[in-house]
Amino acid sequence: MIDQIKARLNQIKNPATGATFEAENRWQHIAMDGDKLVAQYNRDGISPAEKRVIEGEIQKALGDLMVVDNIMVKTTSSQSQDVFKALDKQGEAPTKAPETQPAQIKAGHGTIDKKKPVPGVGKIIAIGSGKGGVGKSTFTSNLALSLAKKGHKVGIIDADIYGPSLPMIFGKRDEKPRSNSEKKIIPVEAFGIKFMSFGFFINENDPVIWRGPMLGGVLNQFLFDVDWSGLDYLLIDLPPGTGDIQLSMIQNAHVDAAIVISTPQDIALLDAKKGVEMFKKLNLPVIGMVENMSSFICSSCGTEHHIFGEGGVAKAVEQLQIDFLGQVPLEIELRTGSDHGLPYMSQDQFQGRPVWTSFMNVTEKVEHFFNPNPTPANKGGFFSKILGLNK
């Protein structure tokens, strides 16, 4: 039957050109997996509307041979504009090629391969929550800035594909990444932090209606096809949950450790505990848990209000036998900074305030986790300095 299937699929026509898939050599893979058909084609130059027409034609062509629900059609594309534009609204191509080119995302399926390091990166930290709405992206961006204040070079991967927020937090909503001469995507930079987000490749108002395996391919590209050279730390802002996106990233890349974020309330802790257990099952060391939004500090009177409960994470870490990294309270400026593209820890006027102090304390614990016995900068004394031994 597979020969009959291939013959029919080869006669599918590209609506954009009128030529058959066979003539354009579109098919990359056609095979049966049990009673299911897996067919993959190159969709360069094919718009979303034309792709839907093709899918309908495939179902019509094979409808008498097999159950439609057993037909799985995959696509790959080296042209991000074909994937991420809802309509064909591309601008004119420049007459002279620039030194950099628009970055391209391959909308293919991710694969789980042998773990490998990300070139140019010292340590990779996965930051998860198990549950959405606990302020993980705000925490991640401000932790990155805190690490930078300690002299580290830091980058972030915004892996929350369904709700990418780092472009807004860092004030780069209109940025379009470029690629260098080596076809590596150049990360966007703000406040000294390099970062990459799916939000750069889609319209803010467009929902991402993709299955997990497709997203895995994009996230894999964010790990290995972005120029992260020169980083001490790469933070991965994971999406909520414990699904295939989290698994594929952690299983593909050599991630060094994880941090789990939760609010004090029981419903958030329930999911956060699952996140901790996921990391443990993947043999990924957990640096500890952070209690975010631990309390609200009134800017007028200074009174502390425990809106989401009190001490929930401190109790949870005892049960989970992991470290407690501290509490981050709420301040109005923490929220407004994220909304207006001016992250809290980028504004030195907040130095010494409770949120500032909390982030710096968490940062010190992260540093201590990776370097528990740091060598003092002045070790060796006067003669070591003049002889150039203290470097």
310 and 168 both lie in a single domain: yes
Of 76, 106, 139, the one marking the end of a domain is 76
Residue 106 lies in a domain: no
What pLDDT score does 244 carry?
63
What pLDDT score does 205 carry?
61
**What are 225-266's pLDDT values in tens digits?**
899 999 999 999 988 766 666 677 777 788 999 999 888 766
164 and 48 both lie in a single domain: no
d(CA 380, CA 292): 41
> Using CA atoms in the order 275, 279, 321, 314, what is the torsion angle rounded to 10 degrees?
-30
Report the number of secondary-structure helices (H) and strands (E) in the chain: 12, 15
130 and 70 both lie in a single domain: no
Residue positions forming the annotated binding site = 130-137
Residue 324 lies in a domain: yes
E strand spans, 34-172: 36-42, 71-76, 101-102, 121-128, 154-158
- Amino acid at site 121: V
60 and 154 both lie in a single domain: no
Of 76, 108, 139, the one marking the end of a domain is 76
Residue 52 lies in a domain: yes
Location of structure tokens 């070790």 = 379
234 and 152 both lie in a single domain: yes
d(CA 25, CA 299): 65
Task: Record the pTM.
Answer: 0.65
Specify the CATH number for the domain of residue 54: 3.30.300.130
174 and 28 both lie in a single domain: no
Residue 351 lies in a domain: yes
- Amino acid at site 5: I
67 and 134 both lie in a single domain: no
- Measured in whole angstroms, the distance separating CA 386 from the mean position of its chain's CA atoms is 46
Radius of gyration of the chain, Cα coordinates, nearest whole angstrom: 24
Structure tokens at 136: 């993980």
Q: What size, in residues, is the chain? A: 391
| Mode of pairing for the β-strands spanning 101-102 and 178-179 | antiparallel
147 and 266 both lie in a single domain: yes
233 and 322 both lie in a single domain: yes
Secondary structure of residue 21 in the 3-state scheme: coil
d(CA 129, CA 255): 16
- Amino acid at site 254: H
Structure tokens at 130: 């198990």
Residue 41 lies in a domain: yes
3-state helix, strand, coil split of the chain in percent (to 5) is: 35, 20, 45
Of 22, 54, 76, the one marking the end of a domain is 76
Residue positions forming the annotated binding site for ATP = 130-137
51 and 125 both lie in a single domain: no
Yes or no: say if 235 and 141 are a contact pair by the CB < 8 Å rule: no
The total number of structural domains that make up the chain: 2
Specify the CATH number for the domain of residue 314: 3.40.50.300
Residue 376 lies in a domain: no
What pLDDT score does 320 carry?
80
Provide the β-strand partners of residue 286: 258
Residue 68 belongs to what domain range?
2-76
d(CA 141, CA 160): 13
Residue 353 lies in a domain: yes
197 and 59 both lie in a single domain: no
- Amino acid at site 61: A
Residue 102 lies in a domain: no
Rounded to 5°, angle at Cα 128 from 312 and 359: 70
What pLDDT score does 364 carry?
96
Enumerate the H helices of the chain as residue ranges. 2-10, 48-62, 80-84, 136-149, 166-169, 212-224, 244-252, 266-281, 312-320, 332-339, 354-370, 381-386
71 and 133 both lie in a single domain: no
Residue among 240, 237, 312, 238 at smallest CA distance from 269: 312
d(CA 262, CA 139): 11
Q: What is the mean pLDDT of each run of 10 residues along the chain (391 residues)?
A: 91 91 91 85 81 86 84 71 40 46 54 71 89 82 96 92 83 87 89 90 61 65 91 91 66 87 73 82 89 72 63 75 88 89 94 93 95 66 50 45
What pLDDT score does 250 carry?
72
